[in-house]
Structures are given as structure tokens and as C-alpha cells.
């Protein structure tokens, strides 16, 4: 599995010949639109910064688009969308969807534009034993760094990957997030490549991905 970060909340996950994308950036966003092909696009929030599914139709890849809660089986991939409360991102209240996807026996939880520390019990139950957690930390309508870390540790993931920071939120969000965690060294990667066995012994390790 290869994970890369493309700004705002856009995350690309590639495994074998399949490509997933979470919250691709649309051409109507002030941020640079997402430009690669994907097989499945998961949209957490109906906002131009996160709903650019049309931009991940590229070449032979025409994505199946998931836009809300429900159980999905797409091209042999099982996913679940969960109600993640209202987000205030963009200055208006919009419904946010949390996604759980299992690939290569690795359980991914994508919190999207989450704006509350009070996760529904249904989310807490199914998000147990998360391997990789994507959490927004920049404020500006989503969790700020302090609340983001509280939510992250409550789910006890093996790896935490912060998203939604820098140009899209609090400029100091990443620094504050690490301060909350007590981590001494910030590990920054161009991309994260891993297999299930690479997760052994990890407990809440924070990995920061550079925007590509």
C-alpha cells in the first residue's frame, strides 16, 4: 500500500493496480485541483475543496463515487460510510461522512471534515482496531490540533496521519499537534509505503506526509 497527500484533505491510496482517493479537490476550489485517475472516490463533504470526483476521472479510470453513509462493496473492496456530524468548514453547516475501508488486511479510518470530539457510539464501536487514521487538525470549521489529538488517541490507531493544516487552516496546527502528542521528532515522508507486518508494535505513531 502506498499513501500520498495532495493537499487540503485529498489522500491517495494505491494498492496493486487499484487507486482510491479521499476528498479530491475540485476545479472550483481556490486550491489546486486534484489531477490523477482513481477507481473509487470517497467524498466526506459536499464542498469544492473536497468534492472533486470529476477530476479523478483520468484515462481509463472512471471512479465509482461514494458520497455518504452506507455499506459498499466496490470492485472487491468493502467500505463503510458513517454519519460524522455537521462540519462548519466553509462557513456553512454541511453533513460530514467518516469512512472505514479495509485493504490488504489494513483498516483505514478517514475522519473527513470532522468538527466534534463527541464521536457517535456507532463510530467508536466500528472504528476499533484502526490501523491508519486520517485526522483533520487545522481548525477553520474542522477539529483544531488539541481536539484532533484527543479524538485520534481515543481510537487507538497504530498510525496517525494529520491532514487539513497549513494553507487551509491554522499555520501552527502541526506544531501544536506534536506538542499535544509529546512527540519529540516530526517524521515527514514524501509518501508512506507499508504492509500489514510493518504495523506490528506501532501505537499512535504520527506520520506527516508532504503535499505532492
Domains of the chain: 2-209 (3.60.15.10)
Contact 212, 14 (CB under 8 A): no
Confidence of residue 122 (pLDDT cuts 50, 70, 90): confident
Rounded to whole angstroms, what are the CA distances from 67 to 22, 37, 80, 136?
10, 18, 11, 18
The pLDDT value recorded for residue 59 is 83
The pLDDT value recorded for residue 91 is 86
Percent of the chain residues past pLDDT 70, beyond the cut: 98
Mean pLDDT over 67-83 rounds to 94
Other residues' Cβ atoms within 10 Å of the Cβ of residue 62: 12
Over 90: is that where the pLDDT of 100 sits?
yes
Contact 96, 114 (CB under 8 A): yes
55-67 pLDDT, tens digit each:
999 888 899 999 9
Residues 23 and 20: their CA atoms lie apart, in Å, by 10
Beta-strand ranges (E) seen in the chain are 2-5, 11-15, 18-22, 40-42, 64-66, 70-74, 77-87, 94-103, 106-110, 132-136, 159-163, 188-189, 192-193, 205-206, 208-209
21-49 pLDDT, tens digit each:
999 999 999 999 999 999 999 999 999 99
Decide: residue 65, CB within 10 A, 0-12 exposed, 13-18 middle, 19+ buried: middle
Confidence of residue 75 (pLDDT cuts 50, 70, 90): confident
State the first-to-last Cα distance of the chain, in angstroms, to the nearest integer. Answer: 17
Give Dmax (Cα) for the chain.
45
Query: Whole-model pTM?
Result: 0.96
Name which of 48-62, 71-85, 181-195 the model is least confident about: 181-195
Residues 132 and 5: their CA atoms lie apart, in Å, by 14
The chain-wide mean pLDDT, for the chain, equals: 93
DSSP state of 156: -
Contact 25, 6 (CB under 8 A): yes
The pLDDT value recorded for residue 184 is 66
The partner residues of 13 in beta bridges, in order of sequence, read 3, 20
Percent of the chain residues past pLDDT 90, beyond the cut: 83
Q: Any residues with CB less than 8 A from the CB of 92 and at least 6 apart, and which? A: none
Amino acid at each position: 500500500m502506498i499513501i500520498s497527500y495532495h493537499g487540503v484533505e485529498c489522500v491517495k491510496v494505491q494498492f496493486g493496480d487499484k487507486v482510491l482517493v479521499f476528498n479530491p479537490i475540485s476545479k472550483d476550489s481556490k486550491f489546486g485541483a486534484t489531477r490523477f485517475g482513481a477507481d473509487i472516490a470517497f467524498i466526506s463533504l459536499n464542498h469544492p475543496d473536497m468534492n472533486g470526483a470529476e477530476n479523478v476521472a483520468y484515462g481509463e479510470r472512471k471512479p465509482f463515487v461514494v458520497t455518504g453513509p452506507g455499506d459498499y462493496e466496490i470492485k472487491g473492496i468493502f467500505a463503510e460510510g458513517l454519519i460524522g456530524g455537521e462540519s462548519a468548514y466553509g462557513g456553512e453547516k454541511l453533513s460530514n461522512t467518516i469512512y472505514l475501508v479495509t485493504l490488504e488486511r489494513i483498516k483505514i479510518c478517514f475522519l473527513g471534515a470532522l468538527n466534534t470530539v463527541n464521536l457517535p457510539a456507532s463510530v467508536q464501536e466500528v472504528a476499533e482496531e484502526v490501523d491508519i487514521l486520517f485526522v483533520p487538525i487545522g481548525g477553520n470549521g474542522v477539529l483544531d490540533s488539541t481536539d484532533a489529538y484527543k479524538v485520534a488517541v481515543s481510537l487507538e490507531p497504530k498510525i496517525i496521519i494529520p491532514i487539513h493544516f497549513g494553507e487551509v487552516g491554522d499555520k501552527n496546527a502541526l506544531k501544536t499537534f506534536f506538542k499535544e502528542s509529546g512527540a519529540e521528532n516530526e517524521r515527514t515522508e514524501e509518501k508512506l509505503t507499508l504492509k500489514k507486518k510493518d504495523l506490528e508494535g506501532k501505537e499512535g505513531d504520527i506520520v506527516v506526509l508532504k503535499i505532492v
